[in-house]
Amino acid sequence: MYDMNTLVSLDSAALCRVLAGRAPEPSSLGPQQWRTVVEDLTFRLSTGGDVPSSVPWTRRSAALVYALDAAVASGDMDGRERVTRLLELSSLLISRVAPMEGVVVLDPTWLVELFFTEVPITAREAGNLAAHWRDLDISEIRRLRAARNLATPAVRLARIVGGTAHARLRDWEIVLPQLP
């Protein structure tokens, strides 16, 4: 049985192995504990830390995706935060590691699709609203901020990989500086 303290005390290879094996159950950790696991794993993956090169990216990716999914299932975060965190880490990783099709955290095509699935507004609508965002009600401002939080790492990712990803996010790249 794994609790949060046991998970974060594991070395990175063991942590990735356990989480990629879909353990522990999402309900087995208390409030905020999956968030702690996600933050710990994100830190390890983003810094390279003690993650041995022998740990394949497929396992690292599966571990992160499971931890994020478990955090959502346990109520520690919502789906939009899950996607934002995934895009943030992926844009950082892809700046250091070659993109890899089929590896969630390193697959730009999949990540761009994920962005478009989750973003709550189109770039055109966001641009129109951003011109007078101070006059909007709070729910519209929150929607623009959610779009900005998602678009920031997605645009960063697109700039890194270029090509189709960059072309698909060009409208968001233009509107991003205008968002609150």
pLDDT digits (tens, 9 = 90+) for 21-40: 999 999 999 889 999 999 99
Strand ranges in the chain using DSSP code E only, listed in sequence order: none
pTM of the model as a whole = 0.94
Is the preceding peptide bond at 52 cis, omega within 30 degrees of 0? no
CA gap 102, 170 in Å, rounded: 24
Total residues found in the chain within this entry = 180
Residue 75, number of CB atoms within 10 A of its CB: 12
Asked whether the beta carbons of 126 and 179 are under 8 A apart, the reply is yes
pLDDT per residue as tens digits for the range 96-112: 999 999 999 999 999 99
12 pLDDT band (50/70/90 cuts)?
A: very high
Reply yes or no on whether the pLDDT at 157 is more than 90.
yes
Helix axes 108-118, 138-161, angle to 10 degrees: 170
* pLDDT for position 31: 83
What's the rounded mean pLDDT across residues 116-136?
96
pLDDT mean across residues, the chain: 95
pLDDT per residue as tens digits for the range 38-78: 999 999 999 977 788 889 999 999 999 999 999 999 999 99
- Looking at residue 5, the DSSP 8-state letter turns out to be H
The candidate with the shortest Cα–Cα distance to 106, out of 133, 86, 125, is 86
102: Cβ contacts below 8 Å, ≥ 6 apart: 58
CA gap 38, 166 in Å, rounded: 28
Is the preceding peptide bond at 177 cis, omega within 30 degrees of 0? no
